[in-house]
C-alpha cells in the first residue's frame, strides 16, 4: 500500500502546546498545488496517558467543535500529565460547508474507516487518523450531535463489546463524562465507523449525541465542556475532581427501539424528547403534504421507553428515521 500523503505541521512528541495542521495535498481547479488544512492542537507534558479528542466528524454538528476550540485555546502544558491531541474539525471539508458528508467526494466520514492512503480525500483523512493518531491514544472521545436532520436528548454513549474488560472501561469513561443521559448504545450499522476502528484497536472509546437540529445551545455546549474536563481527569491527564450530576441510564437493547417513516409528508410529533411512551403508543403522524381530506399515517412506539431522538425539520421522506425509544435502566 502507498504511503499516506498527510503530514502534520507540528510535533506529537515534544512537550508544550503546539497549534498547526494536518496537511493533505489536494490538487483542484481553484488551487493546482493546494492542500486541505485540518486544524490540530497537541498539548504535551512529560509521561502519561494520551487522549485523542475529536469533533466535526460530521460537519453539521457543533458542540464538539466549540468545546474543543475552547480547550485548544486554553489548555496549558502545566495543566496536564501526558498528552492531549485535539481535532475540533476532523472532517474540515464537510465542516466548512456545514454539511454532514464531504462536499469533495460525497463520503460520510463515519462510514469510511479505516480509510485508504490512496483513496479519496475522506478516505485519506480516515486512514491517517486510524493509523497515526489512534495508535498513540489510550482514550478517544468523538463528539457527535444530530446535525441538520436529527435532534437528541443530550447523552454520552459507549458500545456493547465482545471484550468485556474493554466494555467496562468504556462504560466507566462514559459515566465520567456525565452527560444528563448515559446510553449503552446499539448501532444500526457499525461498519466503517470511527467508533468501530478505535474499539478494534483496543482503546477506551466514548461518543456523544448532545443535541442537533443543525445548531448548538448554551446548555449542550456546557455539557460538552464539562464532559471533556471530567474525562481528562478520569484518564489521569488533568488533575482535579470529577463533577458529577444526576444522569439517566438508558439502554438500546435491539431494533425495536427505532421507528422509521413509510410515507413522505408533514410530520406531527405527538410526544417530545424526554417524554415517556408505552408500547404501541402513537408518537407521530405523517400528514400528506400535497392534498387535503386524507387521514395521516400514524407511527407507533414498538416498546416502552423514553423518546431519545427524533427527526428534524418539519417534512419527512419515506425511509427517514422518526424516533428512538430507549429503555430506562
Among the listed ranges 53-61, 148-156, 276-284, 307-315, the one in contact with Zn ion (CB under 5 A) is 53-61
Among the listed ranges 51-59, 161-169, 261-269, 301-309, the one in contact with Zn ion (CB under 5 A) is 51-59
Contact code string over 110-149 relative to Zn ion, x by CB under 5 A: ----------------------------------x-----
φ, ψ of residue 190 to 5 degrees: the values are -95, 5
Toward Zn ion, which CB reaches closer, 57 or 178?
Answer: 57
Among the listed ranges 6-14, 54-62, 153-161, 314-322, the one in contact with Zn ion (CB under 5 A) is 54-62
Q: How far is CA 25 from CA 170, 214, 279, in A?
A: 35, 30, 53
- Minimum Å gap between C-beta 146 and Zn ion is 8
Toward Zn ion, which CB reaches closer, 61 or 138?
Answer: 61
Q: Which of 141, 147, 38 is nearest to 98 (CA)?
A: 147
Q: What is the 3-state secondary structure (H, E, C) of 186-199?
A: CCCCCCCCHHHHHH
Toward Zn ion, which CB reaches closer, 92 or 301?
Answer: 92
With contact defined as beta carbons under 8 Å apart, do 39 and 21 qualify?
Answer: yes
With contact defined as beta carbons under 8 Å apart, do 128 and 4 qualify?
Answer: yes
- Minimum Å gap between C-beta 247 and Zn ion is 21
3-class DSSP assignment, residue 72: helix
Residue 134: CB atoms within 10 A of its CB come to 22
Would you tell me the crossing angle of helices 164-177 and 218-234 to the nearest 10 degrees?
Answer: 130
- Minimum Å gap between C-beta 194 and Zn ion is 10
How far is it, in rounded angstroms, from Cα 281 to Cα 295? Answer: 18
- Minimum Å gap between C-beta 101 and Zn ion is 10
- Minimum Å gap between C-beta 49 and Zn ion is 25
- Minimum Å gap between C-beta 149 and Zn ion is 10
Regarding 159 and contact with Zn ion (CB under 5 A), the answer is no
Among the listed ranges 60-68, 74-82, 192-200, 309-317, the one in contact with Zn ion (CB under 5 A) is 60-68
How far is it, in rounded angstroms, from Cα 55 to Cα 137? Answer: 16
**228-242 b/e (C-beta count within 10 Å ≥ 16 → b):** bbbbbbbbebbeeeb
Contact code string over 281-300 relative to Zn ion, x by CB under 5 A: --------------------
Q: Where are the alpha helices (DSSP H) in the chain?
A: 63-74, 92-95, 121-128, 164-177, 194-200, 218-234
Among positions 38, 39, 58, 307, the unique one binding Zn ion when judged by CB under 5 A:
58
Total binding residues toward Zn ion, as defined by CB under 5 A: 3
Contact code string over 253-282 relative to Zn ion, x by CB under 5 A: ------------------------------
Toward Zn ion, which CB reaches closer, 97 or 303?
Answer: 97
Q: Which residues bind Zn ion (CB under 5 A)?
A: 58, 61, 144
Amino acid at each position: 500500500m502507498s504511503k499516506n500523503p498527510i503530514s502534520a505541521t507540528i510535533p506529537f512528541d515534544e512537550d508544550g502546546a503546539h497549534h498547526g495542521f494536518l496537511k493533505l495535498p489536494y490538487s483542484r481547479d481553484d488551487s493546482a498545488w493546494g492542500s486541505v488544512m485540518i486544524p490540530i492542537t497537541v498539548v504535551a507534558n512529560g509521561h502519561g496517558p494520551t487522549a485523542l479528542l475529536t469533533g466535526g466528524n460530521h460537519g453539521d454538528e457543533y458542540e464538539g467543535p466549540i468545546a474543543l476550540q475552547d480547550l485548544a485555546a486554553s489548555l496549558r502544558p502545566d495543566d496536564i500529565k501526558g498528552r492531549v491531541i485535539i481535532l475540533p474539525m476532523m472532517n474540515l471539508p464537510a465542516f466548512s460547508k456545514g454539511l454532514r458528508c464531504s462536499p469533495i467526494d460525497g463520503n460520510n466520514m463515519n462510514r469510511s474507516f479505516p480509510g485508504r492512503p490512496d483513496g479519496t480525500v475522506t478516505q485519506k483523512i480516515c486512514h491517517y487518523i486510524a493509523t497515526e493518531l489512534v495508535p498513540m491514544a489510550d482514550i478517544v472521545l468523538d463528539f457527535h450531535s444530530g446535525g441538520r436532520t436529527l435532534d437528541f436528548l443530550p447523552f454520552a454513549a459507549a458500545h456493547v463489546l465482545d471484550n468485556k474488560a474493554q466494555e467496562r472501561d468504556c462504560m466507566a469513561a462514559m459515566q465520567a463524562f456525565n452527560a444528563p443521559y448515559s446510553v449503552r448504545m446499539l448501532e444500526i450499522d457499525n461498519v466503517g465507523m470511527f467508533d468501530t476502528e478505535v474499539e478494534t484497536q483496543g482503546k477506551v472509546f466514548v461518543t456523544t449525541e448532545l443535541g442537533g437540529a443543525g445548531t448548538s445551545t448554551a446548555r449542550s455546549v456546557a455539557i460538552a465542556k464539562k464532559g471533556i474536563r471530567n474525562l481528562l481527569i478520569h484518564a489521569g491527564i488533568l488533575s482535579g475532581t470529577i463533577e458529577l450530576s444526576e444522569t439517566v441510564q438508558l439502554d438500546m437493547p435491539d431494533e425495536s427501539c427505532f421507528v422509521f417513516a413509510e410515507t413522505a409528508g408533514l410530520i406531527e410529533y405527538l410526544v417530545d424528547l424526554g417524554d415517556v411512551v408505552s408500547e404501541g403508543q402513537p408518537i407521530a403522524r405523517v400528514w400528506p403534504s400535497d392534498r387535503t381530506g386524507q387521514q395521516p399515517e400514524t407511527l407507533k412506539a414498538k416498546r416502552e421507553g423514553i423518546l431519545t431522538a427524533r427527526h428534524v425539520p418539519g417534512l419527512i421522506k419515506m425511509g427517514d428515521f422518526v424516533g428512538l425509544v430507549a429503555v430506562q435502566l
